[in-house]
Every structure is written in structure tokens, then in C-alpha cells.
Amino acid sequence: MNKIEAIILDWAGTAVDFGCFAPVRVFIDIFRQAGVEVTMEEARAPMGMLKIDHIRTMLSMPRVAALWEAKYNRPFNEGDVEELYAVFEPALMASLSEYTDPIPGVIETVEALRADGLKIGSTTGYTSSMMEVVASNAREKGYRPDHIVTPDDTGSFGRPHPYMIFRNMEQLKLSAAWKVVKVGDTISDMKEGVNAGVWTVGVAVGSSELGHSLESFHRMTEPDKQAAIAKTKQTFLEQGADFAIGTMSGLPQVVGKINELLAQGKRPGCKV
């Protein structure tokens, strides 16, 4: 039957940790400790990647690379990447449990999708040890996907490589990529989904791309909220997403639309 079989959800910024603040604050802190001030935007830009790849990408940004060279009188090297990551990992682990609250609407949406017979997989930029903290705390708060894949399970080939999605497909016994929906909150999530050949959906509210905490989002005026959501959704679509939604509560409707497209013989990337 030509119907969606599973949803593959990202974790931070999509399912838990509204605004994806656990890692971004640590990225800023470790660069500051190294004598280089990075902006929130620079810290967020590679979000969703394996964290050591994230650090390497930040160091490759022209402005950050120039600041590093000015500080140390040489370009950054792989040793610098590894030294920063060695500081990053324990700092993140120390605070990670504080950033595991499910984003509003996620638990209800997942329950509705499961009631329709869909399986729930997940991918992440966190390592397996990080996910032990995140998943156990999220489970206590009511969120538990059917399967979790980290870059540790794919030889450290995280996003934008498609392998974590493929591992979910294997474990969940899914029959075809075009019967799978990937949902995420970052550009690297969109690239992961596109590279895997699955339907790709960006979710704006709670996302790293939007960049607001739950409190600061609620403080925004309604026109400002709608403008920020529209801009974020447009970014996802420009990066290859098939659909972009405001909140997770809109996902079941998107799945219904995709099932209609499948019945018409359409496949991911058809630009409906």
C-alpha cells in the first residue's frame, strides 16, 4: 500500500529542548574560553551536525577563522578541533538533563501518529552517551520514539549524510524511502532528509533556526511571531524541504497530504 509507514524525528529543537539551547550555549562558552567570541548565529548555523563536525564547521567560518588566526598567529588545525571538543563534551553532559522537556504538542502528535499505525524513529547530532541522558529524561516526561540512531551507529557519519535515516529504516523494517517522513528544525536536518530520498518536513516553532526560548517566543507580539515563523519555514523550503509547518501539531495533516500525493504516484522532491 502506498502510504507513509514512519516518521523520523530529530531530537533537540524538534522533539525536546525548545529552541535547542543545550548545545548552543556550550559552543559559545568553549570558544570564549579559547579567546574567541562567536555570535549566537555562528554557533547555531551548523546545528544538527555531529558535534565535533559542528566545531570544525564553526572554525571554518571566515570571521571565526580570522579571529582564531589573530589570536594564535596561525590557522586552526585538527588538533584545535579535538581540544575544543574535549572541553565541549563534558560541559554539555553536565547540563544536558536540564534541556530534555518535550516541546509543547510533540507528545500528543506522536500519539496521534502512532494511533494511525505509524512507527516513530529518530536521528540526532548527539553522541550515544549524550542520548542516554536525553532519552532517559525525555522518557520520564512522556516522550519515547521506537528507535534512536546516533552518528556513533554510522561510523561518525552524521548529517547531512543519510545513513542515520537508513539505519532507522532497517531497524523499523520500512519498505521504501518514499514511505518515510523526516522531520527536523535545522538546515542539516533538511539536507539529511533530501539526501536520504525521504519526504522532508521542517518545523518552525521551537526550532534552532527560529532561535527563541519558549519564554522569549511567548513574549513576542503576534505579528512578530508570524513573521519569524514565515521566515523560518521559507528557509526550510529553500533548503529542499517538501513541507514546512509552524508546529508539530500540523504534522498529521501533512502526512495526510503526502498520502494523497503517493496515491497520485508522486515522490519526495515533487515540489507540490
Residue stretches of the annotated binding site: 10, 12, 185
Residue stretches of the annotated binding site for Mg(2+): 10, 12, 185
* Active-site residue identified among 17, 51, 179, 225: 51
* Active-site residue identified among 10, 17, 53, 189: 10
Helix ranges restricted to H, the chain: 21-33, 40-44, 51-60, 62-72, 78-95, 106-115, 128-140, 163-172, 187-196, 214-219, 222-238, 251-263
CA distances from 155 to 50, 128, 247 (A): 11, 12, 32
Strand partners, 8: 121, 182
CA distances from 264 to 243, 249, 260 (A): 17, 25, 7
Q: How far apart are CA 150 and CA 259, in angstroms?
A: 28
CA distances from 225 to 174, 204, 215, 216, 219 (A): 37, 10, 13, 10, 9
Is residue 10 annotated as part of the catalytic site, yes or no? yes
Is residue 51 annotated as part of the catalytic site, yes or no? yes
Give the H or E element holding residue 245. Answer: strand 243-245
Q: How far apart are CA 209 and CA 202, in angstroms?
A: 10
Q: How far apart are CA 41 and CA 55, in angstroms?
A: 14
Residue positions annotated with a catalytic role: 10, 51
